[in-house]
Amino acid sequence: MTGLQFQIKFLQKLQNHIGKDLDIRTIDIQYYMDRGRELYVDEIIQKYRGQEEYRKRLGNLLQTSNITRPVDPNAPEAGIRTNGEIWDISTLNARHIIDEFVSIAGVSERIPVKPVTNNYYNKQSKNPFKRPYNKGIWRMDVGEGRHELIAYTDSGTITNYFLTYIKHPALSGQSGFLDVTDNSIAYTEIPVGFQNEIVDKAVLFALEVFQISGTLRANTAQ
């Protein structure tokens, strides 16, 4: 669908719930559609376990990336923790990480990366049966778009960081966003067969806003 087709679908479905003509500003419809895409993606993230039906629903939002180790003077900075390095993933615009591995110099196979919390690190970093080893790396979030990769003492140099992730949907004002006034460009982030699900999310969100604030107005023009 184009942006304008999304707007028409949204108003039609919303009116089915409200039962009267509505006077909604275009900027508000844009906001509801933006939020609808976010809610749609977050719901799929909760359900996604590699299942084909949900992989299809993610469309172009499901991405893979290979980050090559930057060379001096831009090599990863030392991490906060022993054997930690800070890797920048901010350019990926990742909303949720699905899977991650690293390559280590001199090791042929990829090494799995395990995301851990600060609490887990504090409890298990000295546990010889839990801490990072030569077949496993830990990862901790250390700020927006920054991952600390924590290796085993003698793991070697991490050369590549491979990620499978779901990126943020494009929102108003961003490159590739869904402009609800545009009837010339089709929306391509989500396959067309699932785009009505985005509209449904946007409608439900708008109804919640209406119940809380009463901001949806009836059209009283004669």
pLDDT over 50 at 221, yes or no? no
The HSE-up count of residue 124 (CA atoms within 13 Å, CB side) is 14
Encoded tokens for 151: 């290796």
Q: At 186, phi and psi to the nearest 5?
A: -80, 145
222 — pLDDT class (breaks 50, 70, 90): very low
The pLDDT of residue 18 is 82
Mean pLDDT of 131-141: 82
Residues 42-101: tens digit of each pLDDT: 999 999 888 899 999 999 999 999 999 988 888 899 988 888 999 999 999 999 999 999
The pLDDT of residue 51 is 87
pLDDT over 60 at 216, yes or no? no
The pLDDT of residue 67 is 96
pLDDT over 80 at 134, yes or no? no
The pLDDT of residue 220 is 46
| Inter-axis angle of helices 3-18 and 26-47, nearest 10 | 90
